[in-house]
C-alpha cells in the first residue's frame, strides 16, 4: 500500500480535495486512513439520501472513513460542535476546511475497483478485484 498525506487549508472543499488528490496521483482505489481537522461549513447527506444537514458553524472532524474508486469518493464523516453534539452522515461537496485538515489516504495498488448497480440495494456498489487473480 502506498500512502498519500496532505494538509488541506482554509476554504478547501474536503470531498473535492480527496477526489482530486486521488486523480492527481492516479490512485484507482484508495481508503481514508485518517482525517483530523475542522470545518467552518458542513454539508452532509443523511441516511436514505433524502435530506442534508447543512450549517455554517465551526465543527471538529471526529471521524472520517471511506473509499475512493476511480476518483469518486464514498466517505462518511462525523462532526462535533462547540457543545460536543455530534452529527454524521455521507460527506458531500460543501464541507469547507477551517484552519486545517490533516489527511492520510492509503492507495490499494494491488486492487482495481469499480461501481456496479446492485438491484437489491438500488445503489452503485463497489467491487474490489485483486490484480493477478
Q: For every one of its 133 residues, what pLDDT tens digit does the chain have, with 9 covering 90 and above? A: 999 999 999 999 999 999 999 999 999 999 999 999 999 999 999 988 789 999 999 999 999 999 999 989 999 999 999 999 999 999 999 999 999 999 999 999 999 999 999 999 988 899 999 987 6
Nearest CA to 36 out of 96, 106, 107, 104 is that of 104
User: How many domains, the chain?
Assistant: 1
* Reported pTM: 0.93
In whole angstroms, give the CA distance from residue 91 to residue 64.
9
* CATH number of the structural domain spanning residue 28: 3.30.1330.80
Structural domain range at position 97: 2-130
State whether the Cα torsion 39-41-81-47 is positive or negative.
Answer: negative
Amino acid at each position: 500500500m502506498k500512502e498519500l498525506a496532505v494538509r488541506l487549508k482554509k476554504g478547501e472543499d474536503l470531498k473535492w480535495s480527496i477526489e482530486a488528490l486521488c486523480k492527481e496521483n492516479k490512485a484507482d482505489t484508495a481508503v481514508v486512513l485518517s482525517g483530523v481537522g475542522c470545518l467552518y461549513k458542513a454539508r452532509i447527506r443523511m441516511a436514505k439520501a433524502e435530506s442534508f444537514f447543512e450549517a455554517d458553524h465551526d465543527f471538529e472532524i471526529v471521524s472520517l472513513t471511506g473509499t475512493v474508486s476511480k476518483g469518486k469518493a464514498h466517505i462518511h464523516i462525523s462532526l462535533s460542535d462547540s457543545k460536543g453534539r455530534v452529527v454524521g452522515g455521507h460527506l458531500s461537496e460543501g464541507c469547507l476546511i477551517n484552519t486545517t485538515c490533516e489527511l492520510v489516504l492509503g492507495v490499494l495498488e494491488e486492487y482495481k475497483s469499480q461501481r456496479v448497480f446492485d438491484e437489491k440495494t438500488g445503489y452503485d456498489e463497489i467491487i474490489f478485484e485483486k490484480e493477478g487473480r
